[in-house]
Amino acid sequence: MKGTAEIIRAARAAGIVVPAFNIPYLPMAEPVIRAVRDEDSFALVQVARLEWEKFSSRSLEAVAEEFHRHEDPAHVRLHLDHVPVVDEDQRPVDFLPIIRRAIAAGYQSVMVDGSRLPLEENIRTAGQTAELAHQAGIPCEAELGAVLGHEEGPLPPYEELFASGKGFTDPEEARRFVRESGCDWLSVAIGNIHGAISKAQRDQKKVEARLNLEHLARLAEATGIPLVLHGGSGIRPEDVRQAFTLGIAKMNVGAEIRQTYEAALRESGDEERAREAVYRRTRELIRETYRISGSRQRL
């Protein structure tokens, strides 16, 4: 059986993507896995620290337990998303014990997010995490640049952000970061934004983002490793699909299916209907937006 690192490298070489679906509510895991299997595609199922802190996924261990109840290794693997070194509320996080817990729980790849740190510190913390991950035989994802959206309060006007390139990942910094940290995948900022997580804004539709594809091409050339697109919900589909051919091998999908689950549960009060809504939306994304039905056979 191929390892997760090998599969993501194959996706980059083939110019297709492995979507990574976030699980802020435990009942979402089963319909996501079922949808991926029924489209004969390949995906990661993942949870971020903020999803057990601010939503209802309970813990990384609870998500692992739910994943293992339904797992299908031919179609899905388990990934630990966003473990920040400094979180969205600007608080320091004791991140290495969380990484160790994930490895013990059977996660097949992990991510550390030191993007709020100065470059030198980000490289150092990514290197520490990569060393732990590699000792366990699994890949490590890190982040460089500012993918906004998780912070409290409204974002600056999107068009202003995009035009200025504020927070975009710098290609030369990325080259150095990958070389010195030893990370396997790099999350980059190229116009993408996270879905809001504050209670006042989490139900709001995301701004339709777009991607600076020329900047992405420069990052792909500078780094030579699979790149990751966070904030994958709500980006123009044509930009997303072109990004897959320019080095984006993994793309995080959170708000798209989370809001589907929340809206269906709110309207029906029926968890099974909410699960089925997630199932249908996940299949739709795989088939129509990402156009990766049948991708398992290519990976």
Residues classed as catalytic:
81
State phi, psi for 197 to the nearest 5 degrees: -115, -10
Q: Is 27 exposed, middle or buried (0-12, 13-18, 19+ CB in 10 A)?
A: middle
> Dihedral, CA atoms, 12, 190, 110, 176, nearest 10 degrees?
90
Q: Taking the chain, what is the end-to-end CA distance rounded to the nearest angstrom?
A: 11
B/e letters for 197-232, b = 16+ CB within 10 Å, e = fewer, are beeeebeeebbebbbbbebbbbbbebbebbbbbbbb
Tokens 């129509």 correspond to what residue? Answer: 288
Tokens 């906004």 correspond to what residue? Answer: 148
Among the residues of the chain, which ranges form H helices?
Answer: 4-14, 29-38, 49-53, 60-70, 95-105, 119-135, 158-164, 171-181, 213-223, 237-244, 255-268, 271-284
- The rounded distance, in Å, linking the Cα atoms of 264 and 215 is 38
- The rounded distance, in Å, linking the Cα atoms of 88 and 115 is 11
CA angle (253, 257, 263) in 5-degree steps:
150
